[in-house]
Structure 1
């Protein structure tokens, strides 16, 4: 393995020159971090009618969510390499080991350090809200590790989309809302559902791209079970459901019409779905994945903006 790492490092240095900070920033997979940022922002915006926002608590929650997701991405990097999923030909990964020759133990140590850094933030949050948050936070960290780690990784099953969407969409929004208000409302749960669906879309798009390679290494993801065409149809259906859900909430008077701002992100969802059609290689599907992640980001930011407008206007 040492020779392989050294060889890959030499290849990476020749084809992908980067400064140290660029290299490590790439390992955080920054395009995915909005899946943590936007739920925390939405949950906090939801709390506006309940009183003043505790800004330090919001910042602590935001930083903890980002750190835990970054750690999860690093665990993913480590275990995908250890299990042989990441190679010199792999597309769309951080590639610290296979492209840049960084020893996998360094990646693992950094992931653990990130988890450790999240602990004092969690303690601060609990001191200012409830110690039940510690239980939920611990579960989040455990799932972050078990997503690709452990003997039975979640990412190897058809439950990856459901797990990530529920945890990062519904879970983060409700925690961010709870630590500001001390309660969870029906509206906060309902508003979190379309965000959870779109985060699941990010995972599904990733699994569509990697379907053939994942299948060759024993994974049984939803994309593998459905096949390319039906998985893309499911992705389009999930996009549609997320928008219809918001429209339904507005139509029933559950939320303000300001939340219809999310419809401005619909063209990106349409584009993401179309870009997957007829594509056969991971490289061809990278633009579709990018559009899917951007749909989640734009949808989340517009939803937060709608909540803020509903309060102030």
Structure 2
């Protein structure tokens, strides 16, 4: 049972949450030169619970709909397969999803009491997104594209920055926008191998609606936007020049884009590029955090 629940939680994907919260903490350090280990731990726990909850809901609902039996799994798409291997763990997966969501709500209410009710502007939509993603949002191509990015970018990264800095700033909003583009792309590309299976259970994401090649164009535009935002933010003074460290990932992007177009209609050949996309998202985010930490002494 424990092995199945660990699979349902998709522990190997939780690194994305850790680096998003690290980015928010780095921005707070850059802005104010302050860091609270206790607050960081609470926000990280809350963010991890949110990520585990959405993963567990996804696993549970995909098992119940039969989708898990239709997908050709890769290390990055098609679910973990844990409930197929152990169907008796389905109820426990739902309990895990609900328990983690309850932990998010309790932690969020605590932070709201401490820092102000305006945090509910992030908290309430975030909770709704966690539950609604698999069952409802996947029926709308635009929402399906943007929801993962908005969840990690604006609800998680910008929300954490708000908590750490006790303010909303334009620089943090730029970072959230970059994460939104990157994570939306992460889920978009992961949908390429699942088109046939997803179509059978009524999902409507862009690789189904407009095809994989046109979706590759959408991917390219979002990736381009994520890179363009950085020099614009530096030029306008919203972020320090040190954040241009993230441009060191451009060779990864240059390798990734033509490979996606070349293999868009051959999903079996996409697995190495799904991995490359994960590496791009992680390394770019970490370089942004490093840039902010590098710049921090200049502002302390």
Please give the TM-score of this superposition, normalised by the length of structure 2: 0.88
In structure 1, stretches of 5+ residues that fail to align are 1-19
Pairing of 1:1-313 with structure 2 (within 5 A): 23-48=4-29, 49-87=31-69, 90-92=72-74, 93-134=79-120, 136-149=122-135, 153-158=136-141, 159-276=143-260, 277-280=262-265, 282-312=267-297
State the 1:144 CA deviation.
0.7
Assess if the C-alpha contact under 8 Å between 2:263 and 2:269 holds in 1: no
Please give the secondary structure, in 2, of the residue aligned with 1:128.
helix
State the 1:22 CA deviation.
5.1
State the 1:128 CA deviation.
3.1
- Cα distance in structure 2, aligned partners of 1:254 and 1:143: 29
Q: Deviations over 1:250-279 (max 9, x none)?
A: 233332111011112223333333443225
State the 1:288 CA deviation.
1.9
Q: Deviations over 1:208-245 (max 9, x none)?
A: 22122212322211121221111122212222221121
Please give the secondary structure, in 1, of the residue aligned with 2:87.
coil
Cα RMSD over matched residues? 2.2
- Cα distance in structure 2, aligned partners of 1:113 and 1:210: 29
State the 1:31 CA deviation.
4.0
Cα distance 1:285–1:137, how it changes in 2: closer, same or farther (>3 A)? same
Structure with higher helix content:
2
Q: Deviations over 1:48-107 (max 9, x none)?
A: 222522221111111101111111011001111211211165313111212333432221
State the 1:161 CA deviation.
1.9
Assess if the C-alpha contact under 8 Å between 1:279 and 1:285 holds in 2: yes
